Amino acid sequence: MNSIPKLQVADVVESAMGWLTDTFSGLFKVIQESGKTVMESVTSLLTFIPPIIFILIIAILAFFATRKKFGLPIFSIIGLLFIYNQGLWEQLMNTFTLVLFSSIIAIVFGVPIGILMSKNNVAENIIKPILDFMQTMPGFVYLIPAVAFFGIGVVPGVFASVIFALPPTVRFTSLGIRQVPKELVEAADSFGSTGAQKLFKVELPLAKSTIMAGINQTVLLSLSMVVIASMIGAPGLGREVLSALQRAQVGNGFVAGLSLVIFAIIVDRLTQSLNQKK
C-alpha cells in the first residue's frame, strides 16, 4: 500500500522566507537600525528622568486617571519603589519602551483593520481566519521570522509582540462598531452625514468602550511577550527572568517576575481607567 506523499510545507515556507529576506533586506535593515535608534533614544530619555520624579509622575497620573482615588497611586509608588530598590530600574525602562512601541504599532494598524472588518463582510471573512491563526500560534514561533528579518535585539522583539498582540484590537474594534444601534446609524444617514462623519461622530464614539477593552488586552499581550522576546536579545525585565532561569537562580527570577507583575497591574489599571465613564 502506497503511503500518501508528504506535503513539502516546510520547504515552501523556507523558500518564501528566504525570498522575502533577500528581496527586502535593505528595507529590513533600515527598519532595524532606525527602530533601534528611536527606541534606544526613548529608553535613554526615560532613564535620564530621576526615578523618584518618574514614580511621582506615574502616581499623579494614576490619581487623576482613577478619579482621585488613592488605591492605584499608593500601589504604584510602593511597587515602583520596590523595583528601584532591587536595582531593576533600567530594565523596567527597557520593558516600558518595548511595550509602548509594540502597543502603539498594534493599535495604529489594528483599529483601521477593525473598521474595515466592520464595514465589509468579505474583508471580515478573509481577516478572521488570519486573526485566529495569529492568536493560536505559539508566541515562540513568531521569533523565527522576527530574527530572519531583523536579526536580534529590541526591534525583532517589537515585531513579534505586534503580531501576537494585534488581534484583540482588531476584533474589538469590529465588534464595537457592529454593535452600534442601527437606529442611530440610520438617523445619521437621514441627516445627510457622510461616511466619515458617521464613523467619527457616531460609530467610533459609541464603540469607544469596546475598542478600549481591546486596546487594554493588546497592551497586556505585548507585556506578556516580554520574556519570550528576551530570547532573541530584547532587553528588559524579561531578560532578567530568562537569565535567572538559565542559571537556576530562584530568588532573582522571583524578583524579576514580581517586578513584571507590578508593572502589568499598573498598566492594566491605567488603561482600564481610560475606559471608565466620568
**pLDDT tens across 21-69, in order?**
888 878 888 888 888 888 888 888 988 989 999 999 999 988 888 877 8
pLDDT at 50 (0 to 100): 92
Handedness of CA 115, 121, 125, 126 (dihedral sign): negative
Nearest Cα to Cα of residue 229 among 144, 171, 172, 119: 144
Q: What is the mean pLDDT of residues 193-203?
A: 81
Element housing 155 (H / E): helix 154-178
DSSP character for 8? -
CA dist., res. 9 & res. 223, Å (int):
32
Given this model, what pLDDT does residue 153 score? 80
pLDDT category of residue 222 using cuts at 50, 70 and 90? confident
Residue 83's pLDDT is 92
pLDDT of residue 277: 55
For the residues 180-189, what does the mean pLDDT come to? 81
Model confidence, pTM: 0.86
Which region holds residue 136: left if phi is over 0, alpha if psi is between -120 and 50, else beta?
alpha
pLDDT beyond 90 at 206 = no
Fold annotation for 28-273 = MetI-like fold (1.10.3720)
180's torsion region: left (phi>0), alpha (psi -120 to 50) or beta? beta
| Higher per-residue pLDDT: 67 or 214 | 214
In sequence order, which residues have a C-beta less than 8 Å from that of residue 220 and are 6 or more positions away?
Answer: 264, 267, 268
Arithmetic mean of pLDDT, 170-191: 85
Average pLDDT over residues 119-141: 86
Q: At 228, list the grid cell.
A: 519570550
Question: Rounded to whole angstroms, how far apart are CA atoms 156 and 150?
Answer: 6
Share of residues in the chain with pLDDT > 90 (%): 18
* Selection from 261, 223, 239 nearest residue 79 by Cα: 261
Is 274 a residue whose pLDDT tops 80? no
Report the C-alpha gap between 230 and 160 in whole angstroms.
11
The answer to whether residue 81 scores a pLDDT higher than 90 is yes
Q: How far, in Å, are 18, 100, 260, 276 from residue 44 at the CA level?
A: 35, 14, 20, 33
Closest alpha carbon to 157 in 38, 246, 238: 238
Closest CA to 139 of 255, 54, 242, 223: 223
Separation of alpha carbons 175 and 214, rounded Å: 10
229 near 98, Cβ under 8 Å? yes
For the chain, report the end-to-end CA distance as a whole number of angstroms.
71
Task: Place 2 in a pLDDT band, splitting at 50, 70 and 90.
Answer: low
Q: What pLDDT shows up at residue 247?
A: 81
Is the per-residue pLDDT at 278 higher than 60? Answer: no
Residue with cell 523556507: 14
Domain boundaries, the chain: 28-273
Q: For the segment 230-262, what is each residue's pLDDT rounded down to a tens digit?
A: 888 788 888 888 888 878 878 888 888 899 899
Question: What is the model's pLDDT at position 156?
Answer: 86
Average pLDDT, the chain: 85
Residue 171 banded pLDDT, cuts 50, 70, 90: very high
Q: What is the pLDDT of residue 276?
A: 67
8 Å CB contact between 137 and 124: no
Helices 89-119/121-136 angle, 10° precision: 150
pLDDT at 118 over 60: yes
For residues 103 and 158, give the distance between their C-alpha atoms in angstroms, rounded to a whole number: 9
